Chains A and B, each alone.
Chain A
Amino acid sequence: MRTKSVTDRMLDVFVYGLLLLLAVACLFPFLNVLSKSLSANWAVLSGKVGLWPVGFTLENVYYVVTDGIFLNALKISVFVTVVGTLGSVLFTGISAYPLSKKHLPGIKPVLVLYVFTMLFNGGMIPSYLLIKQLGLMNNLASLILPGLINVFNMLLIKNYFESLPESLEESAKLDGASNLTIVLRIIIPISMPVFATVSLFYAVAFWSDWFHPMLYLNDPSLKPLQLYLRDIVLEADTSNQNLNLNIDRLMNLSPEGIRNATVIVSTIPILLVYPFLQRYFIRGILVGSVKG
């Protein structure tokens, strides 16, 4: 057994210390925002709030959490994320499976077409016109359908399918299983790691998307959480000469505390979910790389 020399241990201390410092430094801004959301407005304004709340109050958080607009935005986000993820995983899986069967004709050209879309994009205006003419404006489907199949994720799944031993399927066929049975009872259960990973990627993409809602949704009651958050945080951004700020608006600005509280409350869902899914992220990124 190798014991560590003194220099090794010193290096350990140094590295750990540095990493700890970095981690703490990342934590500070978050703690600051958290403290501000739990502080009285006057304290936030006079810069008295550091890592700990001053003039502790729950009224900002309470206001945000009971605000109908916030709750509606949360509901919309959850809906889009859940439905979008399920739909995306389903269709991405369906697309990937045949492409992993090397004996089928025409696979190469189809793959080329898929990859082509990864490289070239129509841009904002053609996309907007397309959605408009499909009659999907002001419809949540416009957030889900265009991005339903992400080619990168599909290739990930395809690679995984290809790495499964052929003998599995062959033996199932010998036992008289139909194609559908093979997929449902053998392939899918075995592919759970890659499906979990891809679900996670999709879920994060759907949850954080604010650009497409901004573009396609005009109805205020359809605003998802990220867009809502963005609007609130930018509300007082006088530096970019926001055309919206006339004097009456300025007199009505949300106090600092409420804006910070909105940030915190909007982050909580993802904060709660992420620790449980973290290992899938890490595992998932390696999924396509190492061939056992």
Chain B
Amino acid sequence: MQVAKRWTVVLLLLVLAAATALAGCSGSGSNQKAGGASEGAAEGGSTQSGDEGGGSKPTLKILQTYAKHNYDTPVTDFLEQATGYKVQYDMLPQDNAQDKLNLIMSSGADYDLVKAGKQDYFRFALNGALTDLTPLIDKYGPNIKAAISQKSFDAVKVDGKIYAIPDLNTSYVGGGVMVRTDWLDKLGMKMPTTTDEFTAMLRAFKEKDPAGNGSQNIPFTISGATPLVDGLLGAFGLYNGWNPEDGKLVNRALDPGLKDYLTYMKSLYDEGLLDKEFATNKEETADQKFTSGRAGTEFVPWYKIPSLDEALKKNVPDAKYAYIPLMAGPNGEQGYGVGQGFDWYMIVPATAKHPEDAIKYINATLEPDTFKEMYIGKEGVDYKVENGEYLPIQPAFFDDRGYSSDYTMGRDEEHFQDYWQARLRKSDAMFEAFKQINDIDDNFKHPDVLGFSTFLPKLAQDSQKLDNMVIDYSVKAIVSGVTDSGLKDFQNQWLQAGGEAATKEVNDWYAQQQ
């Protein structure tokens, strides 16, 4: 009896397992619509578009980077309807994506399109793992040639051939020093325009304590991961990681401005103007100090502003804040580094099943009106145009097109930055702040020269390690001081850790550009 009962249980479990198996077993194509953002139903009306045999348009397999929406958004439906191609999206993992990509590419990927980063792209191209796209673009890609500039194509050429469609980045100043303007108003002070004025302002914050924080008061806070503060770096000429000086590109580690910058920050630290705990602050800690009203100034990248704004207003309802647009250093230098280059490279593996259709697909997406509609939706429904500026219609814009950037494979380079402004207006506070540091004079925006560089293997290999060395040294220097000998030691270590090889490589390339 006992045994029979046990067996019944086991049998039931097996049946349950089998039922679940039938309901949701393996393989492609059996995806169910995720909750949330799948109301593209109106547009997705015609979802058939022959993918079976027939020879009309095959289903394309695209390997994308991780995205939390699993590429199951209205944009997918729109693209299918507009291009006539059904697409099956596979995703790389969030973490270890590069390893996984290598595994896939080296074992004969049958994807038609793959989204790869710069280092991976060049490596695959040099190893012959990619389809040469030059003849395909000539034949099937008139829209591609119209949308993407020659400069962009040149930057991705390997041996004179194009192996990827580059996806151009938006170019902007990413963040700066944010200050509580209500503190300034209370003290009757104006926005600082030089580093001396900045110091004076911080001194006033410390001594006069406008918010009445008492011992909790912090004039200026940053996190231990960002001792190099955009906006202040510009006051010492250290705009980007590598800056041109006398016809050569010099990394911050070797830049004479570094010593001046660190000495300045140390002076702030010593006077108690810079958060004494900054070295152990994580980014969240620094944010907490600002949003709880303790800190008068913080370095803030503007993408964080929507949530910071909400938190600050809840804690201190009368708070007002703004970016300090520019601060000039002792030599009159000021400004910001601006990134440029490509987010991603769309490649077609040599073992792809439908290389020509892949290019035809991209070509269809880059037709100007199609691109626009993919990127910002329909006028009057998702966005409107006022005074030549694009404004989102909430919430439709973000429901329908909030994730469009994940889908781009090459952009309408002339127009997309204008369209992108609609995205920025997701939050008025964020848009305001963005303008505060991006509407500065162009002379003060310093584009990253390496953005459009070709493949620099030594740099690619070591840059993360070298950058971390600079950050670690900076934190130490700000806390305990900069000595000439200490700096020299650090620079020697940096050079030996790959800095010397990288510098030579970078400058060999740079010399050719002159």
**Chain A: residues with CB nearer than 8 A to chain B?**
40-43, 45-48, 66-69, 71-72, 75-76, 78-79, 82-83, 86, 124-125, 128-129, 132, 138-141, 184-185, 189, 214-215, 218-223, 227, 230-232, 234-235, 238-239, 241-244, 246-252, 254-256
**What CA separation (Å) do A86 and B63 show in the bound complex?**
34
Residues of A within 8 A of B285 (CB): 47
| Residues of chain B in range 1-52 having any CB-CB distance to chain A below 8 Å | 2-3, 6, 10, 13-14, 16-17, 20-21, 23-28, 30-36
A189 and B3 contacting across the interface, CB-CB below 8 Å: yes
- Output the residue of A75, A247, A254 with the most chain B CB within 10 A: A247
Dominant SS among interface residues on chain A: helix
Instruction: Return chain A residues, CB-CB under 8 Å to B30.
Output: 221
> Please, which residues of chain A bring their CB within 8 A of the CB of B288?
45-47
A251 with B423, Cβ < 8 A, contacts A69-B70, A138-B28, A185-B3 known:
yes
B96–A220 contact, CB under 8 A? no
Is there contact, CB below 8 Å, between B314 and A46?
yes
Q: A247 contacts which chain B residues (CB < 8 A)?
A: 170, 172, 174, 303
Cβ contact of A76, chosen from B24, B33, B311, cutoff 8 A: B24
Q: Which residues of chain A come closer than 8 Å to B308, judged between CB atoms?
A: 45
Contact in complex: B31, A220 (CB < 8 Å): yes
Is B100 engaged at the interface, CB distance under 8 Å to the other chain?
Answer: yes
Q: How far is the CA of A278 from the CA of B358 in the complex (A)?
A: 54
Q: Which of B63, B93, B312, B424 contacts A231 (CB 8 A)?
A: B93
- Give the bracket for the number of chain B residues in contact with chain A: 35 or more
Alpha-carbon separation in the docked complex, A249 to B308 (Å)? 17
**A-B contact list, 11 entries, CB within 8 Å:** A83-B21, A138-B28, A185-B3, A219-B27, A220-B91, A231-B68, A231-B94, A234-B95, A244-B65, A248-B170, A252-B403
A219 touches B28 (CB 8 A): yes
Given A79-B17, A220-B90, output 17 extra A-B contacts at Cβ < 8 Å. Answer: A41-B311, A45-B284, A46-B292, A68-B33, A72-B34, A75-B20, A128-B107, A141-B26, A189-B2, A215-B100, A218-B92, A218-B104, A231-B93, A242-B95, A243-B117, A244-B65, A248-B405
A251 near B303: Cβ-Cβ < 8 Å:
yes
- Chain A residues whose C-beta falls within 8 Å of the C-beta of B28 in the assembled complex: 138, 219
Query: In the bound complex, how far is the Cα of B37 from the Cα of A66, in angstroms?
Result: 12
Interface centre among A79, A220, A234 (most CB of B within 10 A): A220
Docked Cα-Cα span, A114 to B66, in Å, equals: 38
Residue among A189, A251, A255 facing the most chain B CB atoms (10 A cut-off): A251
A214 and B31 in contact (CB under 8 A), knowing A67-B36, A239-B225? no
B26 touches which of A124, A222, A223 (Cβ 8 Å): A222
For the complex, what is the distance from the CA of A76 to the CA of B70, rounded to whole Å? 15
For A248, list chain B residues within 8 Å (CB): 170, 405-406, 423
Beta-carbon contact of B291 and A45 below 8 Å: yes
Is residue B103 contacting chain A, with contact meaning CB distance below 8 A? yes
Interfacial chain A residues near B107, Cβ < 8 Å: 128-129, 132
- Chain B residues lying within 8 Å of A141, measured Cβ to Cβ, are 26
Contact A45 B14 (CB under 8 A): no
Q: For A67, give its contact among B10, B34, B94, B423 (CB under 8 Å).
A: B34
Contact of A68 among B26, B35, B307 (CB under 8 A): B35
* Contact in complex: B315, A82 (CB < 8 Å): no
- Nearest CB on A from B409, distance (A): 14
